[in-house]
């Protein structure tokens, strides 16, 4: 068994079937032990791609922008336990105000007694800790050239004797 487990956390990819994931993200997915997607795939093709690539080491939730075909395939809330650390994740399917998203997610998931909460929707990468819970938003998983918005990102969560979370940013496909 590897001393550390690496989990790629991604979300808000908003990809159509004909659009590829950024190359750097695909490389990270292939290297990772697990992939967790926190919703808003848009294309069922992406769900299939991740499922085929990682087999039973891919978990996800649907988001507020996902079509019915994805909503029927993936739950709104999911969980994973790695090395006795409980990871709960969601994408607020009700959408809503971006400023209150983290607060709403924490309220919804804290009753599951997680060590780590992962969420999407805001497109803003963030790592914080509240009440002893590590909270991670991987940001947006699509590339926008020539905009002033948040850069493309994903989170790398490493679980070994300790838990480490890091945001990885990139700009080109």
**Total H helices, total E strands in the chain:** 4, 10
Distance from C-alpha of 22 to C-alpha of 120, rounded to nearest angstrom: 18
Distance from C-alpha of 89 to C-alpha of 125, rounded to nearest angstrom: 15
Domain range list for the chain: 5-170
pLDDT, averaged in runs of 10, over the chain (173 residues): 88 83 89 97 94 95 96 98 97 82 94 98 95 96 74 95 93 55
3-state secondary structure of 113: coil
DSSP states along 136-147: EE--B-S--TT-
pLDDT given at position 173: 45
Q: Which class would CATH give 5-170?
A: alpha beta
The pTM (predicted TM-score) of the whole model is: 0.94
């Amino acid at each position: 068994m590897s001393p550390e487990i690496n989990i790629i956390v991604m979300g808000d990819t908003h990809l159509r079937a004909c659009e590829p994931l950024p190359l750097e993200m695909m490389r990270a997915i292939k290297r990772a032990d697990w992939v967790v997607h926190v919703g808003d795939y848009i294309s069922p093709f992406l769900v299939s791609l991740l499922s085929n690539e990682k087999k039973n080491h891919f978990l996800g939730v649907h988001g507020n922008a996902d079509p019915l075909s994805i909503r029927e395939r993936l739950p709104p809330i999911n969980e994973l336990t790695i090395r006795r650390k409980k990871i709960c994740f969601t994408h607020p399917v009700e959408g809503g105000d971006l400023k209150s998203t983290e607060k709403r997610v924490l309220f919804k998931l804290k009753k599951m007694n997680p060590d780590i909460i992962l969420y999407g929707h805001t497109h803003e990468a963030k790592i914080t800790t509240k009440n002893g819970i590590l909270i991670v938003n991987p940001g947006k998983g699509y590339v926008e050239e020539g905009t002033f918005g948040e850069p493309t990102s994903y989170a790398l969560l490493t679980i070994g004797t300790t838990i480490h979370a890091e945001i990885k940013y990139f700009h080109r496909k």
